[in-house]
Amino acid sequence: MRSNTDNVSLLEMRALKGLIASTPAVERAAGEDLFRSGEPCTSLPLVISGNAMTYAGDKAGRQVTLYRLKPGDICPISLSALLQHSTYPATATAETTVQVRYLSGEKLQATINSTPEIFSAFLEALTACLYNSVCTTRQLMSDPRSPSG
């Protein structure tokens, strides 16, 4: 995932600043979901304050934390689901009280399509997340404490 500093610079781009400013913030208490696996993804959650954990789970109740969201972070799973017009493949839950803005998927898509710099920045965020995920998986697989290592 891109560093928080990189995300903040992305969010300072003129085309996104207006969209962010026009989107009201919503508060989620610790333990509340920002989004749930299987729900249609129609917006991009942007954490303004607080922290959230993004995780995948199975029917047996097992969970694996994918990453944590801090203020200014862009959620790559949400971005991917939004661009694919799909459902969320994971769940994000507030670990502390969270202020979040749910950026309109339609407006964000129009902004990405009309602004090559933003498209490139989002593509970079997605590829960095994919790379980090593969590296983490390799580490877990080689860890002698892990069931598969």
17 — pLDDT class (breaks 50, 70, 90): confident
In a domain? residue 142:
no
In a domain? residue 43:
yes
In a domain? residue 111:
no
In a domain? residue 146:
no
Q: What is the pLDDT of residue 4?
A: 45
Number of domains present in the structure of the chain = 1
- Is the pLDDT confidence value at 7 over 70? no
CATH number reported for the structural domain that contains residue 62 in this entry: 2.60.120.10
- Is the pLDDT confidence value at 66 over 70? yes
In a domain? residue 76:
yes
Q: What is the pLDDT of residue 32?
A: 98
Q: Is-contact 49 71, C-beta < 8 A?
A: yes
Lowest mean pLDDT among 20-29, 43-52, 105-114: 105-114
42 contacts: CB under 8 Å, gap ≥ 6: 82, 104, 105
In a domain? residue 120:
yes
Domain that holds residue 73: 4-104+116-137
136 contacts: CB under 8 Å, gap ≥ 6: none
Question: Alpha-carbon distance 47 to 116, whole Å?
Answer: 24
Mean pLDDT estimate for the chain = 84
Q: Is-contact 23 105, C-beta < 8 A?
A: no
In a domain? residue 75:
yes
In a domain? residue 110:
no
Three-state helix/strand/coil letters over the chain: CCCHHHHHHHHCCHHHHHHHHCCCEEEECCCCEEECCCCECCEEEEEEECCEEEEEECCCCCEEEEEEECCCCECHHHHHHHHCCCECCCEEEECCCEEEEEEEHHHHHHHHHHCHHHHHHHHHHHHHHHHHHHHHHHHHHHCCCCCCC
Q: Is the pTM of this model over 0.85?
A: no
